[in-house]
């Protein structure tokens, strides 16, 4: 029997967290293996609410160094140590983020009782469940997206991280089953999107249409949008199989 695949949207906000949308974080579960993509503030509280122990995180993938994507990593690592983790933890991230994590551990604790193995997004990561490849995206700092190939199901999940419209995403995410793409803004705020190197819902939908994905999930939603309907309507004017992710939403691939 094939393992159940679940995508947990832990945090779907952009920038500072709000009561309804926490900082960016996404968990892909394949059977008993859990893979964390970005780890903003409050991530381990979201994991706790789902009953997922820090010890059950196989690896962490970070897209870039902005705080809403990475500041949850050091406290999560410390909790892993408090819970007695012994198995190695893989962290796939740009070098500057690896340096930050190690410095925070040095300053705030006496070290951890397990090995942290750092890999660059270019190196990627693989195990019996998945092969993950990083690719550069178009943001205001060094930023990466990830294509996750589910080995036994022969399907791919693509996660954009933070980015404006970007040719490399079109190249690397072609034919994915699910594209999880940021939609910080709508067309009404297209100038803000361009200036900050983010995407509109329309941008993400145009990409999904062009690269022939099956489903599009929109995340990293600005707090200025109080409901999802404007975002959803804009995206569906281009691409029909789209959902606006909400915190603690779960998608099952069966």
Is the pLDDT at 219 greater than 80? The verdict is yes
- Each residue's pLDDT tens digit, 174-215: 999 999 999 999 999 999 999 999 999 999 999 999 999 999
pLDDT band of residue 1 (cuts 50, 70, 90) is low
Mean pLDDT of all residues belonging to the chain = 95
- Each residue's pLDDT tens digit, 128-147: 999 999 999 999 999 999 99
What DSSP line would sit under 148-212, residue for residue?
EEETTTTEEEEE--S-SS-HHHHHHSTT-SEEEEE--B-GGGHHHHHHHT--BHHHHHHHHHHTT
Mean pLDDT across the stretch 60-81?
96
* Percentage of residues in the chain having pLDDT higher than 90: 94
* Closest of 197, 148, 146, 151 to residue 169, by C-alpha: 146
At 253 the pLDDT is 94
- Distance between CA atoms of residues 121 and 108, nearest Å: 27
- Each residue's pLDDT tens digit, 34-51: 999 999 999 999 999 999
Which residues are catalytic, by number? 68
Query: Does the predicted model carry a pTM greater than 0.85?
Result: yes
At 99 the pLDDT is 93
Is the pLDDT at 227 greater than 90? The verdict is no
Is the pLDDT at 2 greater than 80? The verdict is no
pLDDT band of residue 3 (cuts 50, 70, 90) is confident
- Each residue's pLDDT tens digit, 235-251: 999 999 999 999 999 99
């Amino acid at each position: 029997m094939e393992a159940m695949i679940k995508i947990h949207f832990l945090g779907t906000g952009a920038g500072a967290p709000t009561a309804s949308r926490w900082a960016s974080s996404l968990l892909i579960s394949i059977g008993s293996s859990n893979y964390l993509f970005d780890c903003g503030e409050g991530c381990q509280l979201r994991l706790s609410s789902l009953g997922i122990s820090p010890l059950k995180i196989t690896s962490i993938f970070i897209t870039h160094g902005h705080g809403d994507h990475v500041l949850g990593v050091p406290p999560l690592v410390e909790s892993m140590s408090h819970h007695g983790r012994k198995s190695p933890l893989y962290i796939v991230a740009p070098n500057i983020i690896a340096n930050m994590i190690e410095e925070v551990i040095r300053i705030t604790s006496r070290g951890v009782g397990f090995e942290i193995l750092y890999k660059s997004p270019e190196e990627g990561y693989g195990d019996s469940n998945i092969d993950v490849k990083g690719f550069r995206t178009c943001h205001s700092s060094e930023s990466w997206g990830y294509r996750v190939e589910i080995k036994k199901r022969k399907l791919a999940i693509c996660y954009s991280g933070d980015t404006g419209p970007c040719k490399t995403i079109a190249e690397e995410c072609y034919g994915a089953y699910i594209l999880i793409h940021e939609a910080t803004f709508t067309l009404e705020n297209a100038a803000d999107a361009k200036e900050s190197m983010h995407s509109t819902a329309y941008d993400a939908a145009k990409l999904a249409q062009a690269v022939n994905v099956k489903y599009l999930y929109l995340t990293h939603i600005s707090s200025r949008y109080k409901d999802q309907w404007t975002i959803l309507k804009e995206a569906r004017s281009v691409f029909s199989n789209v959902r606006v992710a909400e915190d603690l939403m779960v998608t099952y691939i069966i």
